[in-house]
Chains A and B, each alone.
Chain A
Amino acid sequence: MVEYERHDYDVIVIGAGGAGLRAAIEASAQGARTALICKSLLGKAHTVMAEGGIAAALGNVWPQDNWRVHFRDTMRGGKMLNNWRMAQLHAQEAPDRVNELEQWGALFDRTDDGRILQRDFGGHRYARLAHVGDRTGLELIRTLQQHAVHNGIDVFMECTVSRLLKDGDRVSGAVAYWRESGNLLVFNAKSTVLATGGTGKAFAVTSNSWEYTGDGHALAYWAGAELIDMECVQFHPTGMVWPPSVRGILVTEGVRGDGGTLRNSDGERFMFNYIPDFFAAETADTIDEADAWYEDKENNRRTPDLLPRDEVARAINSEVKAGRGSPHGGVFLDIASRRSTEYIRRRLPSMYHQFKQLADVDITAQPMEVGPTMHYIMGGIRVDADTAATTVPGLYAAGECAGGMHGANRLGGNSLSDLVVFGRRAGLGAAEDAAAQALAPEADDAQVEEIVADMRAPFERDGAEGPYDIQRDLQDTMHNLVGIIRTESELLEARERIDGYKGRAANVGVYGHQQYNPGWHLAMDLQALLTVSEATARAANVRQESRGGHTRDDYPGPNDAEWGNKNVVIRQGADGEMEVTTSPLPEMPADLQELFEE
């Protein structure tokens, strides 16, 4: 008989970034007994790395802004693959959520008349991002954390969930372990919220932290839930490229929002050569107009440096491939020639610090070298827009691990707002669901035993291959074959290799004991990493077009007739194999469709 701590809750929330914290706050406020479970210490989740801001049509800088404009920008940025209802709720509720953060103690930068200041970002028609210099994510997570500690939420820190438990069709809790001791926990929960973030650690070059191993995507998939749009992966155009040890670390889009421009090794502002027809009407096509836009936004169109991220990332990729890259394989990002030292240090303090300390580059005097880095997965667990319910009863999802909101490409600033808008909705949905359950769930010992045997198996194989090489090989494969530009032969090759890694992972061995053993933790994380990698590789091969964060060399350009109204759907088949199908997008009502007819 396996020994474990037992915990009974109405709602458990897995993940304590912005979405998880907001979900737990809401569930608790609804009267649900709530637990918040996180792999790291509280306040360290990947949300802290968000820099530029939180998008909300507050209209503080541009009174013309409103939720309809934000909605339209979001859908167009997502190449219309978004779940329209999520994009609508997001645009409508983001201002309330930002004001709520202020009521909970957040200190956003101010306008001259004392309101929340908003900054320009790619794909947003108006300056829309509430921000705190370039550390907005830290402000968001700290504000939620400080609010949550007084709300009677039980927090389980450095505690990793391995599998969800089921009672018939319904998710009924989870099996977890303390990272510190290796000891086991069983949670019995009337409802469960997944808020685990993304899958960046499947890739060699990423802005994501170690936690981003696709846990929520995989937990949901293993429990029978559907994933959508897993082929849609965002490569942020500006990650650091040098030195090698910091390759991939994010350089905020705020640098471009605040005046930075991209140049190639010839000194050319190359983005003018990459303006797609889709955005031509709203983008400056001369340097003069683009430069004038910084000061006069009414009479000039925006610089192509601020096209949506997928466009800019592909452009950089092409420039480097054409031999016009910077010495370390990126391009140049220059803010020093437009802005004063004082301005840069006030607006972008952590960028200044990061380059100075890690790369010996003074961004107030020199250009940065930047290149694409895996940053975000638009795809995720299929959810109901209003309640955040997944396709499995008792299971909810919010934030990056949920799919649909951002379509094929996410606009900068729309992630932090997504976290609080849908974190709240998931907490509400889960609490209402829990309140409707008459009986408290009771873990099935046989299920627990089986899960625990799987978790501990690597210790039985001391001397076998360890997990680190398998993870590195997987990261190289995803980077090289399922990266920013894809093609069928490489995607098939990737799947074959992933099958090989699955075989190796099934025989992975670790040594040492269970107390804070990172080798063992990685051996378990590999299961999720392999599942999400397979999902992305398979979905990428099925979508035979290029759209947003999914670019096919063999199918360049979008195919609206065939693919413009379909999600690629992933689920586990009865035989345990991964199934890939498609399903039609939900149809947008006529009054919203009108917004796109101009």
Chain B
Amino acid sequence: MSETANMRVFRGDAESGDWQDYSVEVEEGQVVLDVIHRIQATQAPDLAVRWNCKAGKCGSCSAEINGEPRLMCMTRMNLFEPGEQITVAPMKTWPLIRDLVTDVSFNYEVAKTIPAFKPRAPEADGTYRMMQEDIERGQEFRKCIECFLCQNVCHVIRDHPENKPEFAGPRFFVRLAELEMHPLDTEDRLELARKDAGVGYCNITKCCTEVCPEEIHITDNAIIPLKERVADRYFDPIRWLGSKLFGRG
């Protein structure tokens, strides 16, 4: 089986850019990233694309395919109608470097602001005991491959880049929730979640959950519990009264 795909790929840099059309041979079983690679090898050797594992494990090849945020390596070409025009664009939320490659450094900067894991003392033999059921939620969060599609699709920063300094984004709510729920961790990050990370900005539209290639229940399992914990501490009226009367919170 060999068909021709009509690809429309964004080419350009921070200053200017435009769509470019390519006709490309497609073989059975191929994914969008294969087709992008064939364009590189046969028509446009300087077409910039970021990728690594080509197996959905590293989260490098995020893009917007026909407007939908996806991993190029996990998007099969047979998802589209024969002859259908397929557009491939860089993630919109990040500054463009070139073609399909964006500057995702925002995420690495936010990562630095989250206080490190701080475990309690180990058992007498120097190791820890944790029950499987107590770590399963954390393991779900640690499936995250940092493709940043959830960040890209979150309208708090996608439509309002001015919010970026005050909003960590879904990926880091997942990280905060993971640390909050880690059976060994002793650090308190709720103030950070409330204030600098801005979890309150999220109004639970679940766009992040929908695009997560690892199928992490970002909204239900991470963001909502995080919001609840913040609310319990800072907005619980009885606690508030208690802290006023007795100076503790």
Contact = CB atoms under 8 A, between A and B. Distances in A.
A binds B: yes
Interface of A: 40-46, 48-49, 99, 102-105, 107, 109-110, 113-116, 132-133, 135, 137-139, 142, 146-147, 149-150, 155, 157, 180, 209-211, 242-246, 249-250, 350, 353-354, 357-359, 466-469, 472, 510-513, 515-520
A44 B122 CA distance: 31
Chain B CB within 10 Å — which of A46, A110, A147, A510 has the most?
A110
A526 to B, nearest CB: 13
9 contacts: A49-B53, A49-B55, A102-B128, A104-B117, A105-B117, A209-B54, A243-B29, A246-B29, A510-B46
B31 A358 contact: yes
A354 B98 CA distance: 30
B31 A40 contact: no
A518 B57 contact: no
A518 B40 CA distance: 8
Using C-beta atoms within 8 Å of the partner chain, give the interface range for chain B. Answer: 35 or more
B56 interface: yes
Contacts of B30: 243-245
B56 A354 contact: yes
Given A107-B138, A149-B111, A210-B51, A41 B60 contact: yes
B182 A107 contact: yes
Contacts, number: 168
A49 B58 contact: yes
B135 A110 contact: yes
Contacts of B131: 110, 114
A512 B116 CA distance: 43
B233 interface: no
Contact of A209 (B58, B76, B103, B139): B58
Contact of A180 (B28, B55, B97, B127): B97
Interface stretch (B80-88, B141-149, B188-196, B200-208): B141-149
Contacts of A515: 13, 48, 97-98
Given A99-B126, A113-B129, A246 B55 contact: yes
B41 interface: yes
Contacts of A510: 45-46
Interface of B: 13, 27-31, 34, 40-41, 45-60, 74, 76, 97-99, 101, 103-104, 108, 111-112, 115-117, 119, 122, 126-132, 135, 138-139, 142-146, 179, 182, 185
Given A43-B146, A245-B27, A518 B97 contact: no
B57 A139 contact: no
Contact of A518 (B49, B112, B115): B49
Contacts of A48: 52-53, 57-58, 145
B130 A114 contact: yes
A440 B127 CA distance: 41
Nearest to B103: A180
Given A105-B182, A245-B29, A468-B40, A211 B52 contact: yes
Contact of B129 (A114, A142, A155, A359): A114
A137 B52 CA distance: 14
Nearest to A58: B127
B29 to A, nearest CB: 2
A358 B31 CA distance: 8
Given A41-B104, A245-B27, A518 B116 contact: no
A359 B49 CA distance: 24
Nearest to A242: B29
Given A107-B139, A110-B132, A245-B27, A146 B116 contact: yes
B27 A519 contact: no
The 9 closest A-B pairs by CB, nearest first: A243-B29, A512-B46, A519-B45, A114-B129, A105-B117, A516-B48, A468-B41, A516-B98, A110-B132
A247 B27 CA distance: 13
A246 B47 CA distance: 22
Contact of B40 (A139, A250, A358, A519): A519
A139 B46 contact: no
Contacts of A99: 126-127
A44 B108 CA distance: 13
A453 B212 CA distance: 44
A520 B60 CA distance: 20
A472 B37 CA distance: 13
A43 to B, nearest CB: 6
A515 B194 CA distance: 39
Nearest to B115: A150
Given A113-B129, A244-B29, A42 B46 contact: no
Contact of A244 (B27, B49, B129, B132): B27
B149 to A, nearest CB: 14
Contacts of A102: 127-128
Given A350-B56, A468-B41, A515-B97, 20 more contacts: A40-B60, A44-B52, A49-B53, A99-B126, A110-B135, A114-B129, A114-B131, A138-B143, A180-B101, A242-B29, A244-B28, A244-B29, A244-B30, A246-B29, A354-B56, A357-B74, A468-B40, A515-B48, A519-B45, A519-B46
Given A105-B117, A244-B28, A517-B48, A135 B57 contact: yes
A149 B112 contact: yes
Nearest to B144: A142
B55 A354 contact: yes
Given A138-B145, A358-B76, A107 B46 contact: no
Contacts of A246: 29, 54-55
Nearest to B215: A353
Contacts of B119: 103, 105
A107 B142 contact: yes
A516 B101 contact: yes
Contacts of A43: 58, 146
A209 B52 contact: yes
B44 to A, nearest CB: 9
A512 B13 CA distance: 13
A139 B140 CA distance: 11
B70 to A, nearest CB: 11
Contacts of B116: 146-147, 150
A468 B146 contact: no
Contacts of A358: 29, 31, 55, 74, 76
Contacts of B145: 48, 138
A527 B108 CA distance: 32
A525 to B, nearest CB: 13
A139 B135 CA distance: 13
A275 B147 CA distance: 43
Given A147-B116, A468-B41, A517-B46, A138 B132 contact: no
Chain A CB within 10 Å — which of B46, B108, B129, B182 has the most?
B46
Contact of A249 (B54, B59, B130): B54
A518 B60 contact: no
Contacts of A109: 132, 139
B60 A44 contact: yes
Contacts of B59: 44
Contacts of B132: 109-110
Nearest to B111: A149
